Amino acid sequence: MRVYAHRGASKQAPENTLKAFNLAFEIGADGIEFDTYQHNDGIIVFHDRTLIRRANTQGYLLSESWDKLRTLDIGDGEQIPTLSETLNTIPRGKWCNIEIKHLVDVALWVNDVKTALAQSQVLEENVLVSSFNHHWLRDIAALWPEVKIGALSASYELDCTASARALCAYSVNIALDAVDKSFVERVLAEGFNVYVYTVDEPEDMRMLEKWGVTGIFTNVPDKALSVLHP
Ligand code: G3P
Ligand code: CA
């Protein structure tokens, strides 16, 4: 079962920062998950629509210029990273999950991600693109059929592989609160991978591994690795 550091090693370092991503790979994580916004000045890595929680200042992320955003301290003196900077923390052969929180221009997004990838060591086959907005995923898949798509969901739908089938997805990425054994069995039986977020407790890690889950997103990759690979 692959261990992805959720927003980087976000228990030990500020989430979605280069420090958290570098630490994740020092710990030995298989990959990192991070959140992205398509800003006027390029793709940037951040979780919230607003700045208050991470930067202790009022305002919306997308209302501010990149020059202003770049001056903000989002913990331990870390700055908001670009997609390109983030991809450059990933060693060759390791994985990443680019979660999309905001997207306006799909063609520009695909072009920007491909350009950033080409300037990094990350292999295209190790990239998983996910979002709660499956319309964006459908449009991305149409322009970039080679990229792996993760149909992200917070609920166990009655037809739990409908989106994955429609998107020709690689995986269904499901909330820990919604997942059970039957969900995992059904999704795997239809040939899709299963990723679960956010898994920080050893008991849950062992249970998901037993069920055959493909990967977990965890804020504590150090703990996950010691539980799963003692
Ligand atoms: O991609 C899994 C998970 O990160 C989705 O929820 O709110 O932590 O971005 P959130
Ligand atoms: Ca996320």
99 lines ligand 1 (CB under 6 A): yes
Task: Tokens for 173, please give them.
Answer: 């990425």
Instruction: Please identify, by atom number, the ligand 1 atom nearest to the C-alpha of residue 217.
Output: 2
Instruction: Please identify, by atom number, the ligand 1 atom nearest to the C-alpha of residue 150.
Output: 1
Taking only the tens place, the pLDDT of each residue in 208-223 is 999 999 999 999 999 9
Per-residue pLDDT, averaged over 85-110, amounts to 98
- The CA distance from 171 to 194, in Å, is 5
Phi-psi map region of 172: left, alpha, beta (phi>0 left; psi -120 to 50 alpha)? beta
15 lines ligand 1 (CB under 6 A): no
Known active-site residue 102: no
33 lines ligand 1 (CB under 6 A): yes
Mean pLDDT computed over every residue of the chain: 98
**pLDDT at residue 210 in the model:** 98
Per-residue pLDDT, averaged over 166-179, amounts to 98
Taking only the tens place, the pLDDT of each residue in 46-93 is 999 999 999 999 999 999 999 999 999 999 999 999 999 999 999 999
For ligand 1, atom 2, which residue shows the shortest CA distance?
A: 197
